[in-house]
Amino acid sequence: MRLLALILAALSLLSPITPALAQSGAFPICSYGKRTQCVVDGDTFWRGGQKYRLKDIDAPEIAGGANCQQEYQTGVAATYMLQRLLESGIVSMTAFGRDRYGRTLVKVETRMGDVGSALMDARLARSYGHGRAPWC
């Protein structure tokens, strides 16, 4: 029995799913005030009091940065999709440094798959490439 417990403990160290990540909990849409765990828009979210931005994708703006109604509506849809993906349970987050605004750039894998790919497949985000491009 003790050997089985040791083997299970060793295997859990190899698994990409950790209980803290898999039990992410709710990700409400961010409101004003202190932000701890919420979704800002289609490519930015808070978790554990830290602000994260999805690496290599660009989702339309919703807060003041939208240049037309289509951009705003697509941005809202991207925001709600990111919320659903994160609430499905984060399996892994890989950090790639910080952007110019101090946000940690991450690739996120949830129980539903790679978040950036899912948003791009749904045409709610696109490859960031060499910077932002207009959505209108």
**Which phi and psi angles does 44 have, rounded to 5°?**
-140, 140
- Whether the predicted pLDDT of 14 surpasses 50: no
Query: What pLDDT sits at residue 63?
Result: 76
Residue 82's Cβ-side half-sphere holds a number of Cα atoms within 13 Å equal to 35
Q: Are 41 and 61 in contact (CB under 8 A)?
A: yes
Greater confidence, 114 or 62?
114
Amino acid identity of 68? C
Q: What is the pTM of this model?
A: 0.79
- Whether the predicted pLDDT of 6 surpasses 80: no
Percent of the chain with pLDDT over 90: 64
Quote the strand ranges of the chain, DSSP E: 38-41, 44-47, 50-54, 57-58, 90-98, 104-110, 113-114, 126-127
> How far, in Å, CA of 124 to CA of 6, rounded?
45
The whole-number average pLDDT for the span 122-132 is: 84
Q: Are 88 and 112 in contact (CB under 8 A)?
A: yes
The DSSP 8-state label assigned to residue 30 in this structure reads P
Task: Report the candidate in 65, 62, 106, 99 with the shortest Cα–Cα distance to residue 85.
Answer: 106
> How far, in Å, CA of 52 to CA of 33, rounded?
17
pLDDT 10s digits, 63-115: 777 778 889 999 999 999 999 999 999 999 999 999 999 999 999 999 999 99
Query: What pLDDT sits at residue 24?
Result: 58
Separation of CA 45 from chain center: 6
